[in-house]
Amino acid sequence: MSKALPEIVREAAERLKGVISPTPLIHSSSLSRLFGFECLLKLENLQKTGSFKARGAYFKISSLSEREISAGVIAASSGNHAQGVAWAAALLGVRSLIVMPETTPIVKFVATKGYGGEVVILGRNFMESFAYARDLSTQRGMALIHPFDDYSIIAGQGTIGLEIMEAAPDADAIVVPVGGGGLISGIASVVKEKSPGIRVIGAEAAASNSCIESIKRGEPSEVEERPTIADGIAVKRPGEKTFKIIRELVDEVHDVGEDSIAWAIVQLLERKKLVVEGAGAVGVAAAIEGKLPKSVKKAVFVLSGGNIDVTTLDRIIRLGLIREGRILRLAALIPDEPGALARLTADIAALKANILHVIHEREAVSAPINTIRLEIVLETEGHGHSEKIRSELKGKGYGITE
């Protein structure tokens, strides 16, 4: 790298003018009250293609020579990087081939094709898809666009840091999702150059905590693949270049649980009307788990993307509501007689709970003779309300169990 990284980031910012719009940085009163410090949200979920990835992809492809892109560009990804590369290549009039793993959700496959990319499904996971892409790159002479371990990619993502510093120079912490490390590396490079006192904090899913494990071992290291709703940052191993920058410039990295990620998504949807994918919500999840320094007074959370399919969002909303105690699941025994179910539903209505679902089991083996077992799902106001409902129904003799 002949130039210093912050210099390349500034070059990227100039290149992206008129192509990428700076995303909003908004204040969240609800999160500020919840966490006890001022919270600002950097809305990369509103970026072109629905994530920050468009920045790095455009800068990288636009930096290639005509000879390098004469046969087109190729990338491996199951989501945001794929869409970013397909979009940027189409905008620049370059052919793109995207290798996606077999586990890629249909919605992301369709979206990538919609941006103009040619898509092939090869590999059981990202690592296998990347190996196929690398081989095809060599065979066909196509330029391989790495999702994170490339200085042009890192610099493109780093333009977010410039925007944050311009809009919130008095922030004392910036919380960034970590997968392969391209986003946090780029942001840290410009933030630490201008304001070394600002803490740059990484957040990753506990189910895919390759960055934390690599820091412990002192070198980029692989972790076992486990399912996570933050699939956009489920990377088995951080990059060589990104890891070096992270060790030098990032103050701390924390991992967060699936329940906290789900709750963060629900909070952002309900309180700010923002659709944020799991990977984009891990920073807020770190604050939910109380993992940010007590000294933080004003934090910026980078919401890195919003590409989440409706089915997954529905499941996550339910997980988040259960965590808040706003969905209560009960089993109840009622007499096998006319009017018994009506009395139970009336009692539930009197307690101001909303019945979402009822399963009526007349032949349940576990139920005594002359009784009916019910499984009930209720919408409540929270943990306190749920406990009151459980207690009141038990007091009325309904034989309530979890």
> Rounded to an integer, what distance in angstroms lies between the CA atom of residue 232 and that of residue 236?
12
Q: How far is CA 250 from CA 159, 184, 185, 289, in A?
A: 17, 8, 8, 20
- The residues near 16 (Cβ < 8 Å, ≥ 6 apart) are 55, 58, 59, 156, 159
Q: Give the whole-angstrom CA distance, residue 35 versus residue 72.
A: 47
Pull the structure tokens for residue 365. 């083996």
Exposure class string for 87-105: b at 16+ Cβ within 10 A, else e: bbbebbebbbbbbbbeebb
> What does the alpha-carbon distance between residue 124 and residue 130 come to, in Å, rounded to a whole number?
11
Phi, psi for 40 (deg, rounded to 5): -115, 145
Strands 371-379 and 354-361, by their bridges, are: antiparallel
Helix (H, G, I), strand (E, B) or coil at 160: helix
Active site residues: 53, 304
- Alpha-carbon distance of 198 to 207, in angstroms, equals 28
Amino acid identity at 335: P
The full length of the chain comes to 402
